[in-house]
Structure 1
Amino acid sequence: MAVIHRLDAEVAISRISVAGLHPISSLVRETAPSDVGTVGMVSGRTVLPNPLAGMRPNALGAIYMVIGSLGYVTNDALIRVATAEGLDVYQALCLRGIGMSVLFAALLRVRGVVVTRSQFSRPVFGRVGAEVVATSLFFAAIVNLEFANAQTILLIVPFAVTLAAAVVLGERVSALQYVTVIAGFVGVVCVVQPGTGAFSPWSLAAVVSAAALTFREFATRRVDNSIPAAFVGLVTAIAITAMTGALALFTGWNPLNGTAAVVVAAACLCLVVGYVFTIQTVRVGDISVSAPFRYTTLLGAVVLGYVFFDEIPNTLTIIGCTIILASGIYAIRLEQAARRITTDPASTTPSS
Structure 2
Amino acid sequence: MALSDNTRGALFMMGSMTAFTLNDACMKSLSGEIPLFQALVLRSFAVIMFLGYMAWRSGTFRTRIERKDQMLIALRTAVEIAAAFFFLSALFHLPIADVTAILQALPLTVTLAGAVFLGEAVGWKRLLAILVGFSGVILILRPPLLFGEDSGFSIYSIYVLLAVACVTVRDLCARRISVAVPSMTIALAAAVGVMAFGVVGSLTQPWQPVSTASVLWLGGASFFVIGGYIFSVSAMRSGEIGFVAPFRYTSLVAALLLGLIVFDDWPDQLTLLGSAIVVATGLFTLYRERQTTKRQRPGLRLR
Superposed pair shares fold, TM > 0.5: yes
Say if 2:107 and 2:286, in contact at 8 Å, map to a contact too: no
CA 1:119–1:268 in 2, change beyond 3 Å: closer, same or farther? farther
Match for residue 266 of structure 2 among 294, 304, 312: 312
Deviation at 1:115, TM superposition (A): 5.2
Pick the aligned partner of 1:204 from 155, 158, 182. 158
1:285 counterpart residue number: 239
Equivalent residue, structure 2, for 1:154: 103
Partner AA of 2:80 in structure 1: E
| CA pair 109-168 structure 1, distance change in 2 beyond 3 A | closer
| Deviation string, structure 1 residues 205-246 (Cα, Å, up to 9, x no partner) | 110111111111121122233322222222211110111222
Aligned mates of 2:240, 2:301 — CA distance in 1: 20
Q: Which SS does the other structure have where 1:263 is aligned?
A: helix
Q: In structure 2, what is the Cα distance between the partners aligned to 1:247 and 1:225?
A: 33
Aligned to 2:59: 112
CA contact (8 A) 1:80 1:89 kept: no
Q: Is the 8 A contact 1:190 1:320 kept in 2?
A: yes
Q: How many residues align?
A: 296
> 1:133/1:66 Cα in 2 relative to 1: closer, same or farther (>3 Å)?
same
1:64 aligns with 2:12: yes
Task: Letter of the 1:299 partner, please give it.
Answer: V
Match for residue 89 of structure 1? 36
Counterpart for residue 192 of structure 1: 141
Q: Which piece of structure 1 moves more, 332-341 or 136-145?
A: 332-341
Q: Give distance in 1, aligned partners of 2:299 and 2:66.
A: 39
Per the alignment, in what secondary structure is the counterpart of residue 311 of structure 1?
Answer: coil
Alpha-carbon RMSD across the aligned residues, in angstroms, is 1.9
% same residue: 28
Q: Does 1:180 align with 2:134?
A: no
How big is the shift at 1:56? 2.7
Once the two structures are overlaid, the 10-residue window that deviates more, 217-226 or 65-74, is 217-226
Q: Structure 1 unaligned runs (5+)?
A: 1-52
Asked if 2 retains the 8 angstrom alpha-carbon contact of 1:145 and 1:200, the reply is no
Q: Could you say which residue in structure 2 is the equivalent of 1:75?
A: 23
Q: Is the 8 A contact 2:294 2:302 kept in 1?
A: no
Alignment partners' CA distance in 2, 1:56 and 1:346: 21
Written as runs of structure 1 = structure 2, the 5 A alignment for 1:210-221 is: 210-221=164-175
Which residue number corresponds to residue 178 of structure 2? 224
CA distance, structure 2, for counterparts of residue 284 and residue 231 of structure 1: 21
- How many Å separate the matches in 2 of 1:252 and 1:146? 26
Q: Which has the higher contact order (CA 8 A, sep 6+)?
A: 2
Computing the radius of gyration over CA atoms, which structure comes out larger, 1 or 2?
A: 1
Partner letter of residue 29 of structure 2?
V
Alignment of 1:244-255 (within 5 A): 244-255=198-209
| Partners of 2:107 and 2:285 within 8 A in 1 | no
Partner of 1:302: 256
Partner of 2:189 in structure 1?
235
Q: Does the C-alpha gap of structure 1 residues 229 and 285 become closer, same or farther in structure 2, counting only changes over 3 Å?
A: closer
Structure 2: which 5+ runs fail to align? Answer: none
**Structure 1 position 137, deviation (Å):** 0.7
Stretches of 4+ moved more than 6 A in 1?
none
- Which structure's residues are more often helix, by fraction? 2
Distance change in 2, residues 1:337/1:118 (3 Å): closer
TM-score, structure 2 normalization: 0.91
| Contact persistence 1:115–1:231 (CA under 8 A) | no
Asked whether the equivalents of residues 180 and 331 of structure 1 are also in contact (C-alpha less than 8 Å), the reply is yes
Distance 1:348 1:75, change over 3 A: closer
**Corresponding residue number in structure 2 for 1:274:** 228
* In structure 2, C-alpha distance between the alignment counterparts of 1:258 and 1:348, rounded to whole Å: 58
- Secondary structure of the residue aligned to 2:61 is coil
| Cα displacement (A) at 1:118 | 4.5
- Which residue of structure 1 aligns with residue 77 of structure 2? 128
Query: What is the CA-CA distance between 1:117 and the residue it aligns to?
Result: 7.8
Offset at residue 119 of structure 1 (A): 5.8
Cα gap change, 1:122 to 1:289, in 2 (>3 Å): same
Change (3 A) 1:164 1:269: same
- Matched residue type, 1:139: L
Distance 1:128 1:346, change over 3 A: closer
Q: Give the secondary structure class of the aligned counterpart of 2:282.
A: helix
Amino acid at match of 2:132: A
Deviation of 1:80 (Å): 0.9
- Quote how far apart the aligned CAs of 1:173 are: 0.9
Residue 41 of structure 1: aligned partner: none
Q: Find the residue that maps to 1:250 and give its secondary structure.
A: coil
C-alpha displacement of 1:73: 0.8
Q: CA deviation at 1:113?
A: 3.3
> What residue is the counterpart of 1:103 in the other structure?
50
**Do the aligned partners of 2:63 and 2:181 also contact (CA within 8 Å) in 1?**
no
